[in-house]
Amino acid sequence: MPGTADDGTAAAERWFTAAGQDDPYARYRRLREITPVLYDLRLDTFFVLRHRDCAAVLRDPDIRTPDPAWLDVREPGWREHSAAVFLYNSLLRRNPPDHARLRRILRDALPVSPNLESVVDRALDTLAQRGAVGSVVDLQTVVATPVPLTVISDLLGVPQADRRWLASTVDNLVAVLDPLLAPAVRDRADQAADRLGSYFSELIEERSEHPRGDVASTLAAAARIGRLRTGEAHDALLLLFAAGNETTSGLIGNALHAVLRGEHRSADPAALIAETLRWDSPVQLTERVASRTCRIGEVTVPAGADITLVLGSANRDPQRFPAPDRFDPARTDRDALSFGAGPHYCLGAALAQQLAIVLLRRFLARFPKARLAGEATRRPSPTLRGFTSLPVVLDG
Ligand code: HEM
């Protein structure tokens, strides 16, 4: 019998309000204790809160990612929404055997060792200028957001002049990942998908004629020789741009915030980033579907049911991580689920961690006395956890 305790359901609903974004972890803890597998009637989904259950679901071949065939039954009008069409055409929503084919092409298209140091140093120069003479400066908008935007745009081949509007448009698109969408938010996500779809499709066409050695050119070439089907190249480019930016800027902001408010500045930056991923995951939720009736923990989940994995809760599960609410870079058990697990494991995990480590190392070396200065603001999303502003003073 799924948990439907009033307490649990009410708490689940509160996740999806702006107020819930400051500290979702207290709510996760209560839900994990009351009903670790919780059926939510309004959202018609099973929330899974324990680490061992989330890890098992992600690796279970009988549980797949929600795909177009499933959504046709659950929400027949979905094809009228461009944002849903983008998401459900993407790699994230492919199942075997198609998933492996597309994943291999994207994996091979991503370069192994991009140049990170000079991008980081330029952003830190700007930070130093803006934060000179003790003025308050916003670490999120000056460093944590633009650095991944520059690195990923350089890799993909997105021209400089277009990056800013693309980033703010993608910000509207990724709302499609949230479980509850207000109609106005959904409209904005659909408009964003239309604009971005046309933009990336033109970029693929341009690179098809004038290749340059970036990811756009590699994907354009794969489309030309028939390795990618119509539309797949620009969808893939947009997915990489969207999946890479919002998440990595979240990780960098969450790490800077965790480090500046605590006592751990002298810890190894790689350990600080690994602990941030566990303690304050940039991706809190992901979705799956049961292909057949299955057991999750003590609960029977019927075939076709929607499942929401609460990765941010799994990473704070005391049965997996002792004293889970303590930010402790000295931990050695690092089996956090922030990049997922199993067949859809994040394709950008190495890049995101490498970039965040370089940035944190250079930031701490250059601004050892930096401190938080005022209220940091969380982005209002239950799925993507990060900041919209992170005010600091640099010289202590
Ligand atoms: C800290 C930064 C990041 C986090 C926390 C993150 C998290 C995730 C998670 C949780 C998934 C799996 C979703 C699921 O199983 O349903 C995923 C998949 C994916 N990520 Fe990331 N990601 C990050 C950065 C990046 C970057 C930098 C890129 C590329 C430039 C990227 C590209 C992808 C792609 C293409 C997938 C789909 C893989 C598949 O479906 O097979 N991600 N990411």
Beta-strand (E) ranges in 27-183?
Answer: 37-40, 45-48, 63-64, 137-138
Tens-digit pLDDT profile for residues 60-103: 999 999 999 999 999 999 999 999 999 999 999 999 999 999 99
How many whole angstroms separate alpha carbon 38 and alpha carbon 3?
5
Residue 1 lies in a domain: no
Best substitution site from 247, 310, 337, 345 to test ligand 1's pocket, by max atoms within 8 Å of Cβ? 247
Best substitution site from 347, 357, 381, 383 to test ligand 1's pocket, by max atoms within 8 Å of Cβ? 347
Nearest CA to ligand 1 atom 12: 340
Q: Which residues, other chains included, contact 235 with Cβ-Cβ below 8 Å and sequence gap of 6+?
A: 86, 89, 90, 197, 200
Residue 45 lies in a domain: yes
- The pLDDT of residue 20 is 62
- Can you tell me the mean pLDDT for 254-265? 94
Residue 300 lies in a domain: yes
How many whole angstroms separate alpha carbon 65 and alpha carbon 308?
11
For residue 309, give the ligand 1 atom closest to its CA: 16
Nearest CA to ligand 1 atom 13: 340
Supply the DSSP symbol for 5: -
Residue 245 lies in a domain: yes
With bands split at pLDDT 50, 70 and 90, how would you rate the model's confidence at 11? low
- The pLDDT of residue 152 is 97
Which of 174-178, 337-341, 375-379 is modeled with the greatest confidence? 337-341
Tens-digit pLDDT profile for residues 134-173: 899 999 999 999 999 999 999 999 999 999 999 999 999 9
Domain that holds residue 63: 6-393
CATH of the domain at 224: 1.10.630.10
Q: What angle do CA 306, 25, 183 make, to 5 degrees?
A: 50
Distances (CA, A) of 181 to 9, 137, 138, 381: 18, 32, 29, 10
How many whole angstroms separate alpha carbon 90 and alpha carbon 196?
14
- The pLDDT of residue 9 is 53
- The pLDDT of residue 28 is 93
Nearest CA to ligand 1 atom 3: 247
Structure tokens at 129: 């200028």
Tens-digit pLDDT profile for residues 293-333: 999 999 999 999 999 999 999 999 999 999 999 999 999 98
- The pLDDT of residue 113 is 73
Tens-digit pLDDT profile for residues 41-62: 888 999 999 999 999 999 999 9
Number of domains in the chain: 1
pLDDT higher than 80, residue 16:
no
- The pLDDT of residue 19 is 58
Q: What is the mean pLDDT of the chain?
A: 93
- The pLDDT of residue 112 is 78
Residue 120 lies in a domain: yes
pLDDT higher than 60, residue 379:
yes
Residue 77 lies in a domain: yes
Best substitution site from 45, 155, 219, 339 to test ligand 1's pocket, by max atoms within 8 Å of Cβ? 339
Ligand 1: centre distance to CA 247 (Å): 8
Nearest CA to ligand 1 atom 39: 344
Which residue, 8, 50, 58, 38, is CA-closest to 324?
Answer: 50
Q: Percentage of residues in the chain with pLDDT exceeding 70?
A: 94
Task: Please give all residues whose beta carbon lies within 6 A of any atom in ligand 1, as ranges.
Answer: 91-92, 103, 106, 152, 239-240, 243-244, 247-248, 251, 282-283, 286, 338-340, 344, 346-348, 351-352
Residue 318 lies in a domain: yes
Are 104 and 88 within 8 A, CB to CB?
no
At residue 39, what are phi and psi to the nearest 5 degrees? -85, 125
Ligand 1: centre distance to CA 341 (Å): 10
Residue 17 lies in a domain: yes
Please, is 119 exposed, middle or buried when counting C-beta atoms within 10 Å of its C-beta (0-12, 13-18, 19+)? Answer: buried
pLDDT higher than 50, residue 1:
no
